């Protein structure tokens, strides 16, 4: 069964726009789990424009399902991960000024660096996942780096879905098969939503986890957070 991990960055973005602590990302994390989500994802960036390092520290002891921290493994990020010991760390190559993640790792060119990162985190008992484009070569490269999983960057799938969903998912299926062949677990995330999620899972049913934030929090403005979590879980479980 594919797990739903909810990225709560956008809740922190709304809080930071006004100051204070409304809405409270820590309370949101607890409530989202209570509403049925099987994981919480955060993506702290150096400028702390949404999730702050202090949020990560406050959330960690409260998560009862799975805690996933994603981000660029700069020294401060690595120190934070080592301190709070999440269940999973997802390595993402985003620049410090990126609005959002926009590409996966070149696991061939960065093999030495990523191997070191995977070794460091696995020694702490943390599952490691590498964010990659839907390219079998990059997937196999992640396996050579010692990763436990890959997370497929699904922006291109979301962009092409309405035009031709079979064509949109094809490269992801090829990458997912490469992951299975390499013995890697499989995650997916970026721009998955209530329209395109079920087809992705139906096409690649061995997906271990989807990480969804922006679309889910946006839908919650209309549906309410509890109803939205339920709606995403229903899409994942569609036959």
pLDDT of residue 97: 62
pLDDT means per 10 residues in the chain (239 residues)? 97 95 97 98 93 98 97 97 98 73 88 98 98 98 98 98 98 98 98 98 98 97 98 93
Respond yes or no: is residue 70 known to be catalytic: yes
Respond yes or no: is residue 190 known to be catalytic: yes
Range of the domain at 204: 3-236
Tokens of 130: 């590498």
**Active-site hit among 43, 50, 140, 151:** 43
pLDDT of residue 98: 59
Distance CA 91, CA 8 (A): 17
**What CATH number does the domain containing 210 carry?**
3.20.20.70
pTM (2 d.p.): 0.95
**Active-site hit among 66, 70, 209, 235:** 70
pLDDT of residue 94: 79
Domain count for the chain: 1
**Active-site hit among 140, 190, 209, 235:** 190
Q: How far is CA 179 from the centre of its chain?
A: 17
* Cβ-based neighbours of 224, under 8 Å, separated by 6 or more: none
Helix 25-34 and helix 9-18: axis angle, to 10°?
Answer: 150
pLDDT of residue 103: 82
3-state helix, strand, coil in the chain (%, to 5): 50, 15, 35
Respond yes or no: is residue 43 known to be catalytic: yes
181 near 218, Cβ under 8 Å? no
Tokens of 79: 């120190």
């Amino acid at each position: 069964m594919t797990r739903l991990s909810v990225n709560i960055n956008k809740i922190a973005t709304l809080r930071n726009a006004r100051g204070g602590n409304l809405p409270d990302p820590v309370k949101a994390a607890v409530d989202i789990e209570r509403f049925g989500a099987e994981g919480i994802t955060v993506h702290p960036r150096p400028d702390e424009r949404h999730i702050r390092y202090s949020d990560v520290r406050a959330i960690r002891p409260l998560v009862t399902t799975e805690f996933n921290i994603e981000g660029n493994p700069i020294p401060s990020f690595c120190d934070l991960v080592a301190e709070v010991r999440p269940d999973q760390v997802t390595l993402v190559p985003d620049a410090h000024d990126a609005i959002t993640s926009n590409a996966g790792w070149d696991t061939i060119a960065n093999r030495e660096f990523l191997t070191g990162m995977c070794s460091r985190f696995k020694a702490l008992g943390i599952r490691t996942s590498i964010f990659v484009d839907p390219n079998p070569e990059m997937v196999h490269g992640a396996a050579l780096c010692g990763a436990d999983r890959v997370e497929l960057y699904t922006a291109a799938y979301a962009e092409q879905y309405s035009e031709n969903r079979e064509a949109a998912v094809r490269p992801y299926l090829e990458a997912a098969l490469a992951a299975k062949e390499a013995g890697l677990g499989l995650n997916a995330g970026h721009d998955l939503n209530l329209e395109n999620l079920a087809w992705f899972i139906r096409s690649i049913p061995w997906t271990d986890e989807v990480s969804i934030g922006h679309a889910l929090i946006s839908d919650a403005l209309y549906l309410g957070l509890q109803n939205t979590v339920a709606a995403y879980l229903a899409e994942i479980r569609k036959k």
